[in-house]
Structure 1
Amino acid sequence: MKQFSHRTIVCPHCGQFVTADVDASNGAQDYYDECSSCCNSIHFKLLHDQVNEKYELFIDADDEQIF
């Protein structure tokens, strides 16, 4: 994976396809960005597997409740 890329994701709030900029130059990250369609906050979690040199991007609405 390049250090900076554009990814098309599905917003967990409105279901629209939106483009997200992913910057992997800082390694693992946990951040929020706004959906360009519905303006709700999207939680991004970027993990870096240093052994296999792979990145995983997890996206959620961050409003799920755990009981």
Structure 2
Amino acid sequence: MQNTAEYMCAYCGEPNLTFVDLSAGGQQSYVEDCQVCCRPNILYVRIDEDTLDIEIDSEYEG
């Protein structure tokens, strides 16, 4: 099952929409390029398994 969530790019600060795979566990991390500036962001995803609330933190890669 997938859901979408928004994060702010660590480089340019613009909002981005990403797909989150809810079946992949409560804590995930992966790299995704910003849809605006194309720079890679490391995304740290936390999912509350009871409410399915999604929190995403982003940071610079490298």
The TM-score with structure 2 as length reference comes to 0.68
> What runs of 5+ residues in structure 1 fail to find an aligned partner?
none
> What runs of 5+ residues in structure 2 fail to find an aligned partner?
none
The total of aligned residue pairs comes to: 59
Identity value in percent: 24
Higher helix proportion (structure 1 or 2): 2
Q: Which has the higher contact order (CA 8 A, sep 6+)?
A: 2
Root-mean-square deviation (CA, aligned residues, Å) is 2.2
Higher strand proportion (structure 1 or 2): 2
The TM-score with structure 1 as length reference comes to 0.64
Larger radius of gyration between Structure 1 and Structure 2: 1
